Amino acid sequence: MDQNKIPSGKPIKIHEKSGQYGEKEAVLVPFLVDDGGIHDSVLIFPGGGYNHVSVLKEGESVAKAFNAQGLNAFYLDYRVEPCHGKEFLCDAVRAVQYVRYHNGKLWNIGEKLALMGFSAGGHLVLMETEHGSEVITGDDNVSRETFKPEALLLCYPVVTFTDPYAHRGSRGNFLGSENAECTELREKYSAERHVDPDFPPVFFWHCEGDASVPVQNSLMLRDALIRAGVDHQLILYPNGAHGLGLAPDDEVISSWFQSCVSWLNDKKFV
């Protein structure tokens, strides 16, 4: 299969046995650069508090923006509540493995893969990176691919599940009502607690006025990256709110996207 046989915007079921996951099944939606060349890729996890997936504002529009910059893009429409943590994680890992399996084999895409996450999608990106080894996504060739990305791109991410800066909706939906008050699980799935020197480089941004996911989430992650010696770039905007996506109506905040592309180019994404 080549990229011309993969219509942009057409969902692809990624799990080995389609239909085994109930009413909603995770699908991967590709947007590939149509110029005959080989380009690296960004896999986008939209936000939605693990309650829904914001596919238009933080999925499709962002994927098309990357295409315009010469990068392939995919977004993952993953399962949400009443599913919980390991099910979200299974979808995320499988999506990474699915793209990996097709790199240079069936699709005309490059080897480098960055994961981008918005809000709760940023948390899922971090969980995929930190806890991806904890799930088995099948018993096929796809499931044998690595889950580790070359870079992380985080937009106003949910990072911590500990108070006082946790986004309680994301935490409750990820852990489930029966586990939401479990201190051990809150700490396990607080990303800032598990950053190590092998972490991939990170680009991220946040608005200081974010009233939904406090900017302290990104500040805590920055401090953890510094302690571990991980390459990163954090952009803070003094104004702005949550859930802005590409922020097309704000000339200042919308600059994040070009800064992100420049950062990827510095990391040899082509």
Alpha helices in the chain (DSSP H): 55, 61-68, 85-102, 120-131, 168-175, 183-188, 216-228, 255-266
Residue 114 has pLDDT above 70, yes or no: yes
* Residue 229 structure tokens: 């010696």
Q: How confident is the model at residue 70 (pLDDT cuts 50, 70, 90)?
A: very high
Size of the chain, expressed as the number of residues it contains: 270
Mean pLDDT, range 95-113, rounded to an integer:
87
Mean pLDDT, rounded, of the chain:
93
Rounded to 5 degrees, what angle do the CA atoms 111, 119, 56 make? Answer: 75
User: Strand pairing partners for 205?
Assistant: 155, 235
Residue 107: per-residue pLDDT:
80
Q: Model confidence over 147-206: pLDDT tens digits?
A: 999 999 999 999 999 999 999 999 999 999 899 999 999 999 999 999 999 999 999 999
The domain spans of the chain are 3-266
Tens digits of residue pLDDT in 208-253: 999 999 999 999 999 999 999 999 999 999 999 999 999 999 999 9
Q: Confidence band (pLDDT; 50, 70, 90) for 36?
A: confident
- Residue 8: pLDDT band (50, 70, 90) is confident
Give the integer Cα–Cα distance in Å for 242 and 215: 10
| pLDDT for 106 beyond 90 | no
- The secondary structure of residue 57, as a DSSP letter, is I
Q: Calculate the alpha carbon distances from 145 to 67, 78, 131, 199 in Å.
A: 25, 19, 15, 18
**pLDDT the model gives residue 210:** 97
- Quote the pLDDT of residue 19: 57
Tell me which residue of 151, 154, 166, 74 sits closest to 114, measured CA to CA. 151
User: 3-266 sits in which CATH class?
Assistant: alpha beta
